[in-house]
Amino acid sequence: MGFQQVEHELHKRRLSRNVGVGLALAGFIVIVFGLTVVKVTRGDYEPVNARIED
Amino acid sequence: MSDASINTQAQEHEAGFGDYFALLKPRVMSLVVFTAMVGLLAAPGSVHPFVAFASILFIAVGGGASGALNMWYDSDIDQVMSRTQSRPIPSGKVSREEAFAIGMTLSVFAVVMLGLAANMLAAGLLAFTIFFYVVIYTMWLKRWTPQNIVIGGAAGAFPPMIGWAVVTGGISVESVLMFTLIFMWTPPHFWALCLFMKSDYKDAGVPMLHVTHGHRATRVHILVYTLLLAPIAIGMAFTGVGGPIYLSVALLLNALFLYGAVAIWRRDEETAIADNYKRERSFFALSLLYLFLHFGAILTEATLAPYGLGGW
């Protein structure tokens, strides 16, 4: 005999919160990664000495 | 306390993701996104599209954070007014402490991230916008003076300036004029709404102009601000962001807006009640279109400029 888990409104709200926070964090990672790629490829963080040597 | 009662209590008070999102005032955020985007696209020069996207996102998050802090501070009056009773804090879904924590965290996050993504001026302007909306408007002016909406409107006027600063790293006549356009537009827009909305600002102790000085004075104020707004809106046509398309749109919209303001000014309260504030309602609807089309025209000029069609 097993217990049947009842799907409660509360569980739905918690799920929506967890999924929302998860997606927000995933979005944040994508944005930080994207900004890093853009800044590095455009040479925003190139050391000043490197430019002089060139 | 039984398990059942604990469960019921949790069920009533636990918020879903949508309740936290509602703290950020999504409708206000949409205006912030649109005007900031126009400021960014109309600015001379360019930024990488991903930087532009991230900057707009951080400006929107900053705007949302100030909305959460506004709801945290105003939760007492939100509970009194029927229009705001369903907000997350008065409805008991989100606690004041949570709203404060979310507002503060997102404010710092948005400012720091905008500084890293764009530049320090844009981040500084965003920080000042949040400070202005939360401290100057919400905490100080809103409950103190009937001119609250006039000065507080500045907070909503900063986004195009921030968008402009993202690209140029500076402030110019054009960005100040875009700021002034929204700043001068806010009072007639909001006071028109006050005239026909059955608000309970009086019960909440908020000294709105129509509560402290009556509808007659509000009608006069709407006309005065509309008169002051017109030369600013039309004058912008002759700056770097203007052009023939913008001038045509501005001339038409300001003529309509002035016509509406004069009509509101000429009406007495009895006539307005008799037709259920028909003129005031149409003026309010026009005000929404007014701002959208002015910024839409600036965007059109900026979009056509690379093809030699926009601007003078």
A2 to chain B, closest Cα gap in Å: 21
Q: Which two tokens stand for residue B238?
A: 């002759």
Chain B positions in Cβ-Cβ contact with residue A42 (cut-off 8 Å): 48
In terms of Cβ atoms closer than 10 Å to its own Cβ (0-12, 13-18, 19+), residue B268 is exposed
Q: Which 8-state DSSP code applies to residue A6?
A: P
Q: What is the pLDDT of residue B282?
A: 95
| CB neighbours of residue B96 within 10 Å | 13
- Find the CB nearest B54 among A14, A16, A31: A31
Q: Which of residues 8-37 of A touch B (CB under 8 A)?
A: 8-10, 12-14, 16-17, 19-21, 31, 34-35
Q: How far apart are CA B88 and CA B78, in angstroms?
A: 10
Q: Which residue has the tokens 């100080």?
A: B140
Q: Which two tokens stand for residue B60?
A: 């929107």
CB contact at 8 A, B38 and B161: no
pTM, rounded to two decimals: 0.89
CB contact under 8 A, B50 and A21: no
Q: How far apart are CA B156 and CA B133, in angstroms?
A: 8
> What is the SS3 assignment for chain B?
CCHHHHHHHHHHHCCCHHHHHHCCCHHHHHHHHHHHHHHHHHCCCCCCHHHHHHHHHHHHHHHHHHHHHHHHHCHHHHHHCHHHCCCCCCCCCCCHHHHHHHHHHHHHHHHHHHHHHCCHHHHHHHHHHHHHHHHHHHHHHCCCCCCHHHHHHHHHHCHHHHHHHHHHCCCCHHHHHHHHHHHHHHHHHHHHHHHHCCCCHHHHCCCCHHHHCHHHHHHHHHHHHHHHHHHHHHHHHHCCCCCHHHHHHHHHHHHHHHHHHHHHHHCCHHHHHHCCCHHHHHHHHHHHHHHHHHHHHHHHHHHHHHHCCCCC
pLDDT by residue (tens digit) across B132-177?
999 999 999 999 988 888 888 899 999 999 999 999 999 999 999 9
CB contact under 8 A, B11 and A17: no
Q: What is the pLDDT of residue B180?
A: 97
Q: How far apart are CA B244 and CA B304, in angstroms?
A: 12
Q: What is the pLDDT of residue B211?
A: 86
Residue of B nearest to A22 (CA): B17
CB contact at 8 A, B254 and B263: no
Separation in Å, CA B119 to CA B9, B48, B108, B177: 47, 13, 15, 21
Q: What is the pLDDT of residue A27?
A: 95
Return the axis-axis angle of helices B148-157 and B159-168, rounded to nearest 10°: 30
CB contact under 8 A, B17 and A16: yes
Which one of B17, B19, B46, B59 makes the best mutation probe of the A interface by having the most chain A beta carbons within 10 Å? B17
CB contact at 8 A, B125 and B162: yes
Q: Please list the pLDDT of chain B residue by residue as tens digits (312 residues).
A: 444 444 444 455 678 888 999 999 999 899 999 999 999 999 999 999 999 999 999 999 999 999 999 999 999 999 988 888 889 999 999 999 999 999 999 999 999 999 999 999 999 999 999 999 999 999 999 999 888 888 888 999 999 999 999 999 999 999 999 999 999 999 999 999 988 887 778 888 888 888 889 889 999 999 999 999 999 999 999 999 999 999 999 999 999 999 999 999 999 888 988 998 999 999 999 999 999 999 999 999 999 988 888 778
Residue of A nearest to B54 (CA): A31
Q: Is the ipTM of this complex over 0.85?
A: no
Q: Which helix (H) or strand (E) holds A36?
A: helix A9-41
CB contact at 8 A, B269 and B209: no
Q: What is the pLDDT of residue B188?
A: 96
Chain B positions in Cβ-Cβ contact with residue A14 (cut-off 8 Å): 14
Dihedral angle over CA of A45, A47, A48, A51, nearest 10: -90
| Closest to B257 in 3D by CA, of B192, B197, B180 | B192
pLDDT by residue (tens digit) across A14-54?
888 899 999 999 999 999 999 999 999 987 777 766 555 55
Separation in Å, CA A6 to CA A3, A18, B269: 9, 19, 58
Vertex B99 angle, CA B15 and B24, to 5°: 85
- Where residue B104 falls (left for φ over 0; alpha for ψ -120 to 50; beta otherwise) is alpha
